[in-house]
Amino acid sequence: MQSYYDITNPDAAYEWLYSVLDMNRGDFISDYVLESRNDFDTFFDRHLKEAERLDIDQLELVAIHVTTNGDGCAEIKKNGLRDLKKVLQEKTELSTFLREKNIWFDIPSKTMYVNGKPFDIDYQKYTNLDRADRKNQALYKIGHRIFYDHQVNGFLFSKDVYDYGTIHETPEFLLTLSEFDKDIVGINDEWAAASKPYVIKYRAKITEFEYYTFYEGQEGYLQDYHNGWIGLKKTLFQKAVRGAFLELFSDVYAYMKPGRIIEPARIIECIPAEEWQDRISKYF
């Protein structure tokens, strides 16, 4: 029986391997250590038939998204995880916070208003302009955050969610916004003071993730497509094995495709980041 691919912690990685390989509890270690002599290639070759049966088009992955809010994730539980365009355009905790600072956005026209004054945030218009100009550079960065950057993304695995930048304190977007004008410097600190960090655990089909979540380049992705995704399957198995043996030493990033929304039904849990980290730290 194929279950969700989950390597967010060692136990979850074990569970996926047991499920997809149809093994009895406890058999994996002897299979890998004794029968495969601690060699992943040998292990994978021995279970090639099970790997080939894995339906990539239907496979769902479990990922985590780190965010901050002041409502205990009530908005996320109601509306799901949405990209920055929707969050800024609609009435949300973030858009309300910004309006209180006299900042709002008209997403269709790619316009930002600060104290009633409009600013063009179509970042592509600033590509050939003098971006050495501080104002142009700031507008380019703001537009790039909204219309280009990945927003609903996170990790397939993270040993420490506090290690990646300041996402556990404030949205990266607010850091960018605070650089625009002296009147809004520190807006990120105000958000951080009123918010708490959370980890959102969710599931999504593997087809909803960008190819570079799993491949170093597009050429490898296209070649693997013609090979029945055997390279992708090998990567998934390898990360699961390494995760089960506590051998994932760096973050495994999960890049969602643009415009993807994680509906509430696909959110597995939303828990304080401190509680999540306590769970993970017990393994290491």
Q: Is residue 234 part of a domain?
A: yes
Q: Is the pLDDT of residue 188 over 90?
A: yes
- Statement to judge: residues 129 and 222 lie in one domain: no
pLDDT at 129: 62
**Mean pLDDT, residues 167-194:** 94
Q: Is residue 67 part of a domain?
A: no
Q: Is residue 219 part of a domain?
A: yes
pLDDT at 175: 94
Instruction: Give 34-80 pLDDT, tens digit per residue.
Output: 999 999 999 999 999 999 999 999 999 999 999 999 999 999 999 99
- Statement to judge: residues 36 and 134 lie in one domain: no
pLDDT at 130: 59
- Statement to judge: residues 179 and 220 lie in one domain: no
Sorted by sequence, the CB contacts under 8 Å of residue 43 that are 6+ apart come out as 31, 32, 35, 36, 237, 241
pLDDT at 132: 61
Structural domain boundaries, residue 140: 75-154+168-195
In this prediction, residue 259 has a pLDDT band, given cuts at 50, 70 and 90, of: confident
Q: Is residue 138 part of a domain?
A: yes
Q: Which residues lie across from 47 on neighbouring strands? A: none
pLDDT at 211: 96
Task: Measure Cα distances from 72 to 82, 85, 167, 240, 273 in Å.
Answer: 17, 22, 16, 31, 12
pLDDT at 32: 96
- Statement to judge: residues 187 and 272 lie in one domain: no
Split into its structural domains, the chain has a count of 2
pLDDT at 258: 87
- Statement to judge: residues 175 and 276 lie in one domain: no
Instruction: Give 78-89 pLDDT, tens digit per residue.
Output: 999 999 999 999
- Statement to judge: residues 143 and 218 lie in one domain: no
- Statement to judge: residues 120 and 182 lie in one domain: yes
pLDDT at 149: 85
The encoded tokens of residue 195 equal 């918010």
The share of the chain scoring above pLDDT 90, in percent, equals 87
The share of the chain scoring above pLDDT 70, in percent, equals 98
Q: Is residue 159 part of a domain?
A: no
- Statement to judge: residues 47 and 93 lie in one domain: no
- Statement to judge: residues 183 and 239 lie in one domain: no
Q: Is residue 68 part of a domain?
A: no
- Statement to judge: residues 91 and 45 lie in one domain: no
In this prediction, residue 165 has a pLDDT band, given cuts at 50, 70 and 90, of: confident
- Statement to judge: residues 34 and 86 lie in one domain: no
- Statement to judge: residues 182 and 105 lie in one domain: yes
Instruction: Give 104-155 pLDDT, tens digit per residue.
Output: 999 999 999 999 999 999 998 887 665 567 788 899 999 999 998 877 889 9
For 140, phi then psi, to 5°, come to -60, -45
Question: Using CA atoms, how far apart are residues 20 and 52, in angstroms rounded to an integer?
Answer: 11
